[in-house]
Structure 1
Amino acid sequence: MRVTLVQAPVYDRQSPSLALAYLSSVLAENDYDVNIVDLNRDFFKSVDENEKFESFFKKFRVNYINQWYQIDIDYFVNVLFYEKFKKHSITEDEYGFINSIVDNFVGKILQKTPDVIGFSVYQSSALFSLLTAREIKKKKPETVIIFGGPDCLNSKEEFFLKQDYIDFVVFGEGEVTIVELLDSLEMGVCYPESDGVMWKNENKIYRGKNRELIKDLDRIPYPNFDLFNLADYNKVWQLPVLMTRGCTGNCYFCFENNYYRCFRKRNPAHVFYEIKRNLRKYNIYYYAFNDSLINGDLYQLEKFCDLVIKENLNIKWWAQVRPRRMPFDLLKKMRRAGCYHLFFGIESASQKVLNDMRKGTKVEIIKETLRLSKKAGFKITSFWMFGYPTETDKDFKMTCDFVKENKKNIDFVYATTLILRPGSIIYSDIDKFDIKLPEFTKKYPEEICSLFPDLNFYYLYYWTSQEGRNNADVRHKRYGFFKDHARKIGLSVDEGI
């Protein structure tokens, strides 16, 4: 059975997909003929080299993707269901250009003559994944199409399966599930009742049980990047790596614990030897840790640094960290081990808001950790979130004042507003958090609304507080003011993709 794994745009333009590298390694270990089609990198190469692509992407980015990949429902629905509308929010030329992109994608995938195609789907890549899968099914209806990835949870998986061109959805960790699913298909089982799989039969959707998490992450084979054209990434030239899965926190606004459900870690020696292997194999010296936080276990982190220093491994790496107390000696050791950039998920400088978010840290700890990290020699990026339900103008001012007072210990700021995420605690109990969801389903034909288990999923940017004082306009104004404020005091503002 020939399997093609696909990463559609829009995804990280700096690194190949770690998820597909892991899956391809697992499938090869189980004797499947596997290849990867990296449509995302093809897309960004075209953006970099073609003025028409660049112009399209600028508009696409505004209409479809904001700083946290939030989907604009009008753009999404108008493109995906273009032929069902009499009036459109996109032009005929733009729709034609999107179709030309998709036709090119389809040709590249079908060149591999796959029996099965697996799409790794993120919220930012859902539109092109759907468009590409639909056209493939038209041309090769016998091809099995599987969707998996972070966007295949929390009602979205049902939406995907309601499209007649998608056969299966894998939800949760995929390394074990994908092998079981393909084994079943090879044995001629059309409707495998596997954990972690959704399927349909006679227009009825079935959902397997949640698959048990992989307890020993070291049993997963090293990710394989041989199937990527790494030369396409030569402007950045870094590889992703993962030391842990999950998070030690449980913030109310975050949906990640619904995906990974608990914090698990690899043996630091296992991570070290993976990087050492990649350094020798690909001659790549830069690494991006894709962990939610690299400092969930300080002992593990220190042991990894000790190995890098002991063997004098010449690498550079960056990672996300949670603002917590970290010994200065450990920070210095991280620098010696090649870490040069830390990304802090801070969100707010109001202690009240931090407590309400359940961030599990204090403003004084954030301030001191930033100071020590900068003293150790790191570049610092800070993430901020505006419009939490309990955030007031006074709380917002505290954040602006904090950034100004601590600007010498911050290099970059990355701002966003609170977007409700299915799977997060705040989304599952909106009444507790005094939140009201908008109702926009009347804008669309019933045949379209029926495809969405919860069309409001795409409108979760526009939630309001019950009394209306916290709304999208207020949040967006704070977001814009903060970015202008950061620039005025000399900080760089990261706009995202």
Structure 2
Amino acid sequence: MKKVLLVSLAMDKFSYSAEGRFKFKYIQRRPLLGPLYIFSTIESRGIGCDFLDQSTDSFSVEDLINRINTNDYLFVGFYAQLLVKDKVIEYIKAIKEKCSKKNIVVGGPGYLCYEDFLNNGCDIVCRGEGELTITEIMDYMQGKKRIEEVDGIVYKKNGVINYNKERELINNLDSIPFPAWQKVDLGLYYDYSVLPMRKPFAPMITSRGCLFKCAFCSSPFLWKNIFRSRSVENVLKEIDILVAKQGIRYIIFQDDVFGIDNNWLREFCNSLISRR
């Protein structure tokens, strides 16, 4: 069975200040929701998936290349944040040097630097929301779709960067599979900046997007200033899974803007209280 390899690289000492190095080593290490959502989406299509998180599972670029050479991966997908952009590029170049025919896809909030990724060996950059796009990328990789038919991507062909049609946002967030919590050891993550935090803990999102346009925030570029929320029932179902199957003792909601819909928040709080 074909498989996909998803990779999240850890920030290194050159990514941030001394204060940041202390924070991300000792204070905060959160599981990344983006790759875990993509993992579940890939598996829901009958394709196997491996996930490497360098923040909890130390590996070098040589280790990664050895893994790629010993597995028949459909493609390697990097989750890119702006702080690890240069490191992702370094790994892409090394992989292409040793495995020139291996397809590499980049997604995540760092996609805004798509030209840098494409000019250094990346084959496809996923723009914005990735769940629907990744399924079409897999179809393309398996010869079921032409690359020109895949919405929401940027790619390079004959030395020219091509921009496909923008991907429409997913209206029904309840249709997205829950993150692949069972594939990570949540006991390895923590966030001591949240004083009442207890391990094991997990982050969640109940919505995507924000209606505001703060100058310092990338949310308007990612979500187009459109706010969408999951149903209360869907959120509670994920909480049940986290508590019953993962033993979670603390949940952090990391929406761009949590509780902006007062009616939703009232229903959620009342439903949560009634379950005690």
Shared topology, TM-score over 0.5? yes
Any idea what SS the aligned residue of 1:250 has?
coil
**Cα distance change, pair 190–249 in 1 and its aligned pair in 2 (3 A):** closer
How far residue 234 of structure 1 moved from its aligned partner, in angstroms, is 7.0
- Map 1:110-189 → 2, pairs under 5 A: 112-153=71-112, 156-163=113-120, 165-187=121-143
- 2:10 is matched with 9
**Cα distance change, pair 128–252 in 1 and its aligned pair in 2 (3 A):** closer
- 1:294 is matched with 258
Q: Distance in 2 between matches of 1:150 and 1:179?
A: 19
- 2:40 is matched with 25
Any idea what SS the aligned residue of 2:181 has?
coil
How far residue 188 of structure 1 moved from its aligned partner, in angstroms, is 6.2
Any idea what SS the aligned residue of 1:206 has?
strand
The residue type equivalent to 1:307 in the other structure is: S
The residue type equivalent to 1:223 in the other structure is: P
Check the 8 A contact 1:184/1:192 in 2, yes or no. no
Check the 8 A contact 1:41/1:232 in 2, yes or no. yes
- 2:196 is matched with none
**Cα distance change, pair 285–264 in 1 and its aligned pair in 2 (3 A):** same
Deviations 1:155-201 (A, max 9, x none): x11221111x2111100100000101111210165634311011111
- 1:240 is matched with 203
Check the 8 A contact 2:81/2:109 in 1, yes or no. yes
- 2:214 is matched with 251
- Map 1:450-465 → 2, pairs under 5 A: none
The residue type equivalent to 2:270 in the other structure is: D
Task: Answer with 1 or 2: which has the greater Rg.
Answer: 1
Any idea what SS the aligned residue of 1:309 has?
helix
Q: Distance in 2 between matches of 1:213 and 1:226?
A: 27
Check the 8 A contact 1:191/1:201 in 2, yes or no. no
Q: Distance in 1 between matches of 2:146 and 2:264?
A: 44
Q: Distance in 1 between matches of 2:73 and 2:267?
A: 43
Check the 8 A contact 1:37/1:109 in 2, yes or no. no
**Cα distance change, pair 229–108 in 1 and its aligned pair in 2 (3 A):** farther
Identity %: 29
Check the 8 A contact 1:15/1:233 in 2, yes or no. yes
> TM-score, normalized by length of structure 2?
0.84
1:305 correspondence with 2:269:
yes
- Map 1:153-232 → 2, pairs under 5 A: 153=112, 156-163=113-120, 165-187=121-143, 191-232=147-188
Q: Distance in 1 between matches of 2:167 and 2:147?
A: 17
- Map 1:59-458 → 2, pairs under 5 A: 101-107=60-66, 112-153=71-112, 156-163=113-120, 165-187=121-143, 191-233=147-189, 236-261=199-224, 262-312=226-276
How far residue 124 of structure 1 moved from its aligned partner, in angstroms, is 1.4
Any idea what SS the aligned residue of 1:41 has?
coil
**Cα distance change, pair 251–287 in 1 and its aligned pair in 2 (3 A):** same
The residue type equivalent to 1:24 in the other structure is: F
Number of residue pairs the alignment of both structures matches: 253
**Cα distance change, pair 15–187 in 1 and its aligned pair in 2 (3 A):** same
Q: Distance in 1 between matches of 2:146 and 2:252?
A: 39
Any idea what SS the aligned residue of 1:287 has?
strand
How far residue 268 of structure 1 moved from its aligned partner, in angstroms, is 1.4
Any idea what SS the aligned residue of 1:115 has?
strand
How far residue 22 of structure 1 moved from its aligned partner, in angstroms, is 0.6
How far residue 229 of structure 1 moved from its aligned partner, in angstroms, is 3.1
Q: Distance in 2 between matches of 1:121 and 1:150?
A: 6
Q: Distance in 2 between matches of 1:173 and 1:234?
A: 26
RMSD: 2.2
Check the 8 A contact 1:14/1:238 in 2, yes or no. no
How far residue 111 of structure 1 moved from its aligned partner, in angstroms, is 5.5
Any idea what SS the aligned residue of 1:213 has?
coil
Q: Distance in 2 between matches of 1:195 and 1:37?
A: 27
Unaligned runs of 5+ in 2: 13-23, 192-198
Any idea what SS the aligned residue of 2:4 has?
strand
Any idea what SS the aligned residue of 1:198 has?
strand
How far residue 107 of structure 1 moved from its aligned partner, in angstroms, is 4.1
Check the 8 A contact 2:29/2:55 in 1, yes or no. no
Q: Distance in 2 between matches of 1:215 and 1:134?
A: 36
Q: Distance in 1 between matches of 2:68 and 2:83?
A: 20
The residue type equivalent to 1:287 in the other structure is: I
**Cα distance change, pair 234–122 in 1 and its aligned pair in 2 (3 A):** closer
The residue type equivalent to 2:221 in the other structure is: N
Q: Distance in 1 between matches of 2:178 and 2:157?
A: 36
Check the 8 A contact 1:116/1:144 in 2, yes or no. yes
Deviations 1:397-437 (A, max 9, x none): xxxxxxxxxxxxxxxxxxxxxxxxxxxxxxxxxxxxxxxxx
How far residue 39 of structure 1 moved from its aligned partner, in angstroms, is 1.4
- 1:41 is matched with 56
How far residue 303 of structure 1 moved from its aligned partner, in angstroms, is 1.4
- 1:359 is matched with none
